[in-house]
Structure 1
Amino acid sequence: MNSNVFRMPARRSAALAAAAALVAGPVVLAAPAQATGGAGASGGKGKAGAVVLRTGLDVSLLDKSVQVPLRAALNEVQAPADADRTALTVELDGVDQGKPFTVLRADVATARATVDEEKAEGYANIAHAKVHVPGLPLLSLIEVKEVTSKAVCAAGAKPVAESNLLGAVTVLGKKVTLSAGGPTRVEVPGVGEVTLDLSQTRTTSRTAAATALELRVAVNPLKLNVADVQGTVTLAEATCEAPAAPVKQEQPAPEKEGVVPQTAGEPVAENLAETGGSSTTPYLAGGAVLLLAVGGGSLVLVRARGRS
């Protein structure tokens, strides 16, 4: 008797659970869509630079008893801030018997560097220019008609670097033809020699650099040791580094048809009409009631038998 009394509540609980499951139907929780991209803001700023002339020369005077480093830059500019310079000469003191010495003189000498959110650009141009070094007051180290360099780095695009040389080039009084395939060497007996590299460009995924002319200089006029000049001279150099490309934010994934998100703890029965209860729901509910009735009738029979 006691065993029958304790078993029936368990059966009744099972019947109630089955009915509840039939009425509620299956519930599928849809995971919220997540974006894998960033906030869309630029992750870095660009840079740009340009210079018309740069020297890295060591000058030895009076049988190398006096050594003077000749470090000069004409119209050197850097950006993020826009910069533009157009000075036409650069002079140094103390390397020509104490008098000012003109390293470069040009009709046009422009350097420009600009940066914004979309691109960075460096530009250098020089025209009708003459470069001199100590010990050669009447003979130009190099004369050029026009050279330009340009470096453009746009966000998300391949950087571009280019240099152009227009017109004749004269080195130590000799007209020369330069080749982009390799260095050109010019030697003048009793004066010295100059090796020239034409139109050097370099690019990476975000940077670019262009140099119109680079000269390696070794000059000692008549080997008198009045002015022994060694080093490099660079004409028309431009560089840039691209701003970081904006990161595009991904759109949320569309929800699958017939699958409705449901928050934890939300009553299932209250949302039946909104969450897709089908036309079979009344039949399922009727089946649940029938199960409950059968369970109740079984309980009455068991109690009646117990009394008998």
Structure 2
Amino acid sequence: MNSNNFRLPANVPAGRRSAAIAACTALAAGPLLLAAPAHATGVEGDGGGRASAVVLRTGLDVSLLNKAIDVPLKATLNEVQAPAGAEKTALTVKLDGVAGGQPVNVLKADVATAKASVDEKRAEGSTRLVNARLHLPGLPLLSLIEVGEVTSSAVCEAGRAPVAKSNVLGAVTVLGRKITLSAGGTTRVDVPGVGEVSLDLSRATTTSRTAAAVALQLKISVNPLHLNVADVKGEVTLAEATCRTPKAPPAKPQPSAPADPDKKPVETAVKTQNVADTELAETGGSSATPYLAGGAAVLLVGGAGALVLTRMRARGNRG
């Protein structure tokens, strides 16, 4: 639920204390358009993944002229937690003692969306705001800020680095002045007789598991002196998105295939060969070569003996 913390000084008279309690009761009741803020918690079993998105968040203290109290204006528009989505284009609040008891239109826009989603591997938050006009109590005719379009996104995916992005597109007008925002720091707008506004443009941060993006962050100190409002101070956030990477589930072991008792082992035939066969094969011979060589030797010896015997007979005939 919205946090409404009203601070009463100790020395406030009883009559004013009663009026302050009445103001607190009226603000706590509030209209139905006052969206309740929520903290992103993700979905069960998602491994710790988170995502959130909010179009507008205000944390303002409104000081009233005729009361010694500060009325806090803590309101949100389209703040969602994963998995969820929201789309509203107006935020109206009612502050007792401000604007003659009439509701205050804090924000009006053509488009105001916030989305958040989480699963086992991915968490993502995103927001988009188009043609938005933000008003403060005590300044019903002069917009605090007008923007053409602002977007933010945060994506956290398992196995990848988180990514945060934000963009401010189109013209930006602060307290009636068209300004050029500084991409590298803070832009200050000082309007004499009205007040001062500081703007931080497109802030994006990431860690190993988280990402956060804010399109515009405004710090406000305004002195309207109108509609019973003496002072408005605090911060306003436009288009914020955050995420946290889900933890990767542990790898499941692959089951081994069961042994088949009917399956026979594969037999491998291996042909062996002795060294002699190998050497013969390398020289072009075969296993019959030794026998052929022996027969040739016998024939050679027999031929030589026959030749010697023939010569001896020839010599005998001559003698």
Query: Considering the TM-score relative to the shorter chain, is it more than 0.5?
Result: yes
Shorter-chain TM band: 0.5 to 0.7
Distance 1:66 1:226 in 2: 11
Moved more, 239-248 or 60-69: 60-69
Kindly provide the CA deviation profile for residues 63-91 of structure 1, in whole angstroms up to 9, marking residues without a partner as x: 55242100000000001xx2111111111
Which residue, out of 156, 160, 164, partners 1:161?
164
* Aligned sequence identity (%): 66
Q: Counterpart of 1:185 in structure 2: which amino acid?
A: R
Judge conservation of contact 2:158–2:247 (CA < 8 Å) in 1.
yes
Q: Which residue of 2 aligns with 1:86?
A: 87
Judge conservation of contact 2:162–2:211 (CA < 8 Å) in 1.
yes
Kindly provide the CA deviation profile for residues 134-169 of structure 1, in whole angstroms up to 9, marking residues without a partner as x: 111100000000000000000121000000110000
Kindly provide the CA deviation profile for residues 113-149 of structure 1, in whole angstroms up to 9, marking residues without a partner as x: 0011110000010000000001111000000000000
Quote the RMSD (CA, aligned, Å): 2.3
TM-score by length of 2: 0.63
Q: Which residue of 1 aligns with 2:102?
A: 99
Kindly provide the CA deviation profile for residues 169-188 of structure 1, in whole angstroms up to 9, marking residues without a partner as x: 00000000001200000000
Q: Does 1:56 align with 2:59?
A: yes
Distance 1:223 1:92 in 2: 18
Q: Which residue of 2 aligns with 1:13?
A: none
Distance 1:149 1:43 in 2: 23
Judge conservation of contact 2:158–2:245 (CA < 8 Å) in 1.
yes
Q: Which residue of 1 aligns with 2:249?
A: 246
Distance 2:91 2:227 in 1: 26
Distance 2:69 2:239 in 1: 30
C-alpha displacement of 1:96: 2.4
Q: Which residue of 2 aligns with 1:260?
A: none
Q: How many residues align?
A: 211
Judge conservation of contact 1:220–1:228 (CA < 8 Å) in 2.
yes
Distance 1:64 1:128 in 2: 35
Decide whether aligned partners of structure 1 residues 64 and 178 sit closer, same or farther in structure 2, where only a CA change above 3 A counts. farther
Higher-Rg member (1/2):
2
Decide whether aligned partners of structure 1 residues 64 and 204 sit closer, same or farther in structure 2, where only a CA change above 3 A counts. farther
Moved more, 239-248 or 48-57: 239-248
Give secondary structure in 2 for the equivalent of 1:72.
Answer: strand
Q: Does 1:217 align with 2:220?
A: yes
Judge conservation of contact 1:52–1:126 (CA < 8 Å) in 2.
yes
Q: Does 1:177 align with 2:180?
A: yes
C-alpha displacement of 1:247: 2.9
Distance 2:71 2:107 in 1: 18
Kindly provide the CA deviation profile for residues 28-78 of structure 1, in whole angstroms up to 9, marking residues without a partner as x: xxxxxxxxxxxxxx8823110000000000000115524210000000000
What residue ranges of structure 1 are gaps of 5+ in the alignment? 1-41, 253-308
TM-score by length of 1: 0.65
Judge conservation of contact 1:190–1:222 (CA < 8 Å) in 2.
no
Decide whether aligned partners of structure 1 residues 222 and 59 sit closer, same or farther in structure 2, where only a CA change above 3 A counts. closer
Decide whether aligned partners of structure 1 residues 43 and 163 sit closer, same or farther in structure 2, where only a CA change above 3 A counts. closer
Decide whether aligned partners of structure 1 residues 224 and 54 sit closer, same or farther in structure 2, where only a CA change above 3 A counts. closer
C-alpha displacement of 1:97: 2.3
Q: Which residue of 1 aligns with 2:16?
A: none
What residue ranges of structure 2 are gaps of 5+ in the alignment? 1-44, 256-319
Which residue, out of 189, 198, 203, partners 1:200?
203
The higher-RCO structure (CA 8 Å, 6+ apart) is: 1
Distance 1:64 1:207 in 2: 44
Distance 1:177 1:152 in 2: 28
Q: Does 1:111 align with 2:114?
A: yes
Judge conservation of contact 2:213–2:240 (CA < 8 Å) in 1.
yes
Q: Which residue of 2 aligns with 1:234?
A: 237
Distance 1:90 1:130 in 2: 11
Distance 1:93 1:133 in 2: 12
Distance 1:126 1:242 in 2: 25
Give secondary structure in 2 for the equivalent of 1:179.
Answer: coil
Distance 2:145 2:217 in 1: 11
C-alpha displacement of 1:107: 0.2
Judge conservation of contact 1:191–1:223 (CA < 8 Å) in 2.
no
Q: Counterpart of 1:87 in structure 2: which amino acid?
A: K
Q: Counterpart of 2:186 in structure 1: which amino acid?
A: P
Distance 1:44 1:96 in 2: 49
Give secondary structure in 2 for the equivalent of 1:97.
Answer: helix
C-alpha displacement of 1:219: 0.2
